[in-house]
Amino acid sequence: MSTDSLPQAFALALQHHQAGRLAEAEALYRKVLSAHPDHPGALHRLGNLAQQHGRFDLAIRLLGRAVALEPRNDAAQSHLGEAWRGAGRFDEAMTCYRRALAINPHSAIAHYNLGNVLLDLRRSDEAIAAYRQALHLQPARVEAWMSLGGALVQQGRFDEALAVYRRVLELAPGHAQAHFNLGGLHWECGRRDEGVAAWRRALELQPDFAETYYNLGNAHQEQGQLEEAVTAYQKARKLGLPYPQLENNLGLVLSDLGRMDEAILAYLRALEIEPGYALACNNLGVALAGQGRLDEAITSFRRGLDLKPEQADAHSNLIYTLHSHPGEDDGTIAREHERWERQFGEPLRQSIVPHTNDPDPRRRLRIGYVSPAFRFDSPAFFLAPLLENHDRRQHEIYCYASVRRPDELTARFQKSADVWHDVGALSDTELAERIRQDEIDILVDLSMHTVGNRLLAFARRPAPVQVSWLAYPGTTGLGAIDFRLTDGKIDPPDGQGGTRGGEAMRLPDAWCCYAPLGEFPAVRPLPAARRGFVTFGSLNQFCKINDALVSSWVALLGRVPGSRLLTICPEGEARQHLRAGLAALGVAGDRVELIAPRPWVDYVQLFQEIDVALDSFPCNGMTTTCHTLWMGVPVVTRAGKTAVSRAGSSLLHAVGLPEWVARTEEECLQIAVEWSSDLPRLADLRAALRPLMQSSPLMDAPRFARNIESAYRAMWRGWCAEHPSSPS
């Protein structure tokens, strides 16, 4: 190339570059440099191309040479800054931008680029000033307005950011990203409808905007619109959004819809994208447990805790799942409780301060109940009869509720409380402070290690006396919880129960009281009388069903000719596994009916098809057992060595059916065979069961309330004796 043709070649290269024909531009820049290696313009523009393609090392070399040849070229200095920024060298980038501005203080692009790198360095005040200077010079520069809005959001200056995004939309009404950002700002400020509307507008302008579908999925999920959430997440996935959070959130929604196989696949996909995603390990464990795959669930929980030991909720899920595993005993569970206490409880002891409650042993007490289940949920069947029968002359009742989806029963609970606090949005620290300000005397944890527990608030000891009760028989293992409510069947006085943690406060009769909330049909005659065969059944949660239990059921079917088995089992992998196991044990498919989980009105009808119910083991049923008895179906239960394996014994003794409690698997089989062989006797019991329950301590709510209040008063007297005067 001759010297005379260099200007024309360079000019043509610039035309290609500006028109987006980058390959042609690059070829011409290289031809210019082959003829003139120190051509500053070609070095500058070729370096700019390399920077645009992400080849930052090459860009830095080329632009560095261009700047050395033309040190007063502010555009080259600015582009060199971009290359340094792309390489993650923010200090070098900032030096270049400042040099560009020293050459040309009126360079809007240099001010804008300086703002970007200052934001990278978390110097947001300076970044905002740089963006404002760029906009002073070029008021219509949309990208500067967008970056300014993002910087203001980071500082929590939402009103200013809102004005900025509105200015962008005045300049560019079709700016999809501005609508997207505006939607996020509205959502953050609690303007849910405006947020969703802005995201929908962003999708109208840019239908392939994957992040918007993701945000809409989150919005639908929060609002309980689960099918809509699934649709939005799946569209984001189809558009290739590689967010592990997307897959995790999709898994959560699918789990809520009972689509467990799909949920598990979503969690596994999240872990493929990010193998160290501890939250997905936790959620995967929950889904696997729901399918009865306890070994895999426990492995997933432990993997998540190895990745992120500070996950208190994941550790709680592990502990709760261990209770259902037939291979675990109280010793294993106790060791896991101790590990939880070391990790989460002990570090919070330093935040505990003395309580100033009036140590009068006879005064009216403030009782606080903490739960996410003040709604139509399993704990409600036991909590409602207590709260509605408390002696208000002696007790002032506070409820600390974190209910995700309130319902009519939530309103009923609210009426039964003297003081109601919705604490779902409070941190554990804030919740503990709220309780302390209320001067609660006795604080009762109703969740233990189940989902939604607030044990980290209890670990801060906001009340002088703290108690665990109801979620399941046993203990939390938390040192800050002083007592656990129980009874003599769950925790035998001879100490054979083995439960460790919290002093056992044994209630007379039973540790709970049942009320049949919701709609229950009338008890129908014995199904075997019209069918000609006995149907055994278990409607417990499937996570409580294990291979050893299924083997026992198969043995029972073998001893009772023509008998059938009915049980709840999720569709998909769990059902295939159970059917394969039954087939391997020689059980014909027509002798077993597997029922998918179903709405309440259909669920309660299933009891009409069962003659004799079979309790789960080692984790007995509690709410399900009470429902079963109320529907006239007797339950064969086995009392084991752990507290959760003695819940059935407590309930059946309270109702007056101790003969239905076995100590061994063989005794369970004998009881079931004996009663199923005498249908008239079984029919009589079915007809008598509901009245028997109604007249038993298990449904005597005033009596139970007095029992539990006596226990509270004894706990309070003990604290008063240890604190004869309030700290000054």
For residue 715, being part of any structural domain is answered with no
Looking at the structure, do residues 494 and 385 belong to the same domain, yes or no? yes
- DSSP letters for 375-438: SSSTTHHHHHHHHTT--TTTEEEEEEE--SS--HHHHHHHHH-SEEEE-TTS-HHHHHHHHHHT
Q: Residues 633, 613: contact at Cβ < 8 Å?
A: yes
Of all helices (H) and strands (E), which one includes residue 582? helix 573-584
For residue 554, being part of any structural domain is answered with yes
Host domain of residue 331: 260-348
pLDDT at residue number 520: 96
Q: Residues 304, 281: contact at Cβ < 8 Å?
A: yes
Looking at the structure, do residues 343 and 390 belong to the same domain, yes or no? no
CATH number at residue 694: 3.40.50.2000
Q: Residues 389, 461: contact at Cβ < 8 Å?
A: no
Q: What's the CA gap between 432 and 417, in Å, rounded?
A: 19
Looking at the structure, do residues 573 and 481 belong to the same domain, yes or no? no
Place of tokens 């809007």: 108
Looking at the structure, do residues 362 and 486 belong to the same domain, yes or no? yes
Q: Beta strand 442-445 with 465-468: parallel, antiparallel or unpaired?
A: parallel
Q: Residues 6, 35: contact at Cβ < 8 Å?
A: yes
Q: What's the CA gap between 13 and 5, in Å, rounded?
A: 12
Q: What's the CA gap between 679 and 395, in Å, rounded?
A: 49
CATH number at residue 383: 3.40.50.11380
Looking at the structure, do residues 344 and 445 belong to the same domain, yes or no? no
For residue 204, being part of any structural domain is answered with yes
What are the strands of the beta sheet with 564-568, ordered from one edge?
Answer: 592-595, 564-568, 535-538, 612-614, 635-638, 661-662
Phi, psi of 208 (to 5 degrees): -100, 25
pLDDT at residue number 456: 97
Looking at the structure, do residues 148 and 188 belong to the same domain, yes or no? yes
- DSSP letters for 609-672: G-SEEE--SSS--SHHHHHHHHTT--EEEE--SSGGGGHHHHHHHHHT-GGGEESSHHHHHHHH
Q: Residues 467, 490: contact at Cβ < 8 Å?
A: no
Looking at the structure, do residues 344 and 372 belong to the same domain, yes or no? no
pLDDT at residue number 495: 60
How many domains does one find in the chain? 4
* Polymer length of the chain: 728
Q: Is 50 helix (H, G, I), strand (E, B) or coil?
A: helix
Q: What's the CA gap between 160 and 139, in Å, rounded?
A: 16
The widest CA-to-CA distance across the chain, in whole angstroms, is 115
Looking at the structure, do residues 171 and 207 belong to the same domain, yes or no? yes
Which residues, other chains included, contact 673 with Cβ-Cβ below 8 Å and sequence gap of 6+?
Answer: 556, 559, 560
Q: What's the CA gap between 130 and 135, in Å, rounded?
A: 9
Looking at the structure, do residues 82 and 195 belong to the same domain, yes or no? yes
Of all helices (H) and strands (E), which one includes residue 593? strand 592-595
Q: Is 424 exposed, middle or buried (0-12, 13-18, 19+ CB in 10 A)?
A: middle
pLDDT at residue number 351: 85
How many Cβ atoms sit within 10 Å of the Cβ of residue 427?
12
Q: What's the CA gap between 355 and 345, in Å, rounded?
A: 19
Q: Is 459 helix (H, G, I), strand (E, B) or coil?
A: coil
CATH number at residue 32: 1.25.40.10
Q: In the numeric block, which tokens belong to residue 203?
A: 């999708």
pLDDT, averaged in runs of 10, over the chain (728 residues): 70 85 85 84 84 87 87 87 88 90 92 92 92 95 94 92 95 96 92 94 96 95 91 95 94 92 96 96 95 95 96 96 90 93 94 94 98 96 98 97 93 97 96 98 98 96 98 95 96 65 89 96 96 96 93 96 95 90 88 93 96 97 98 97 95 98 97 97 98 98 98 97 72
Q: Is 365 helix (H, G, I), strand (E, B) or coil?
A: strand
pLDDT at residue number 18: 84
Looking at the structure, do residues 385 and 281 belong to the same domain, yes or no? no
Q: What is the 3-state secondary structure (H, E, C) of 115-156?
A: HHHHHHCCCHHHHHHHHHHHHHHCCCCHHHHHHHHHHHHHCC
For residue 714, being part of any structural domain is answered with no
For residue 434, being part of any structural domain is answered with yes
For residue 589, being part of any structural domain is answered with yes
How many Cβ atoms sit within 10 Å of the Cβ of residue 593?
15
For residue 249, being part of any structural domain is answered with no
Looking at the structure, do residues 327 and 452 belong to the same domain, yes or no? no
How many Cβ atoms sit within 10 Å of the Cβ of residue 383?
27
Q: Which amino acid is at 148?
A: L
Looking at the structure, do residues 52 and 183 belong to the same domain, yes or no? yes
Q: What's the CA gap between 441 and 719, in Å, rounded?
A: 10
For residue 194, being part of any structural domain is answered with yes
pTM confidence score? 0.85
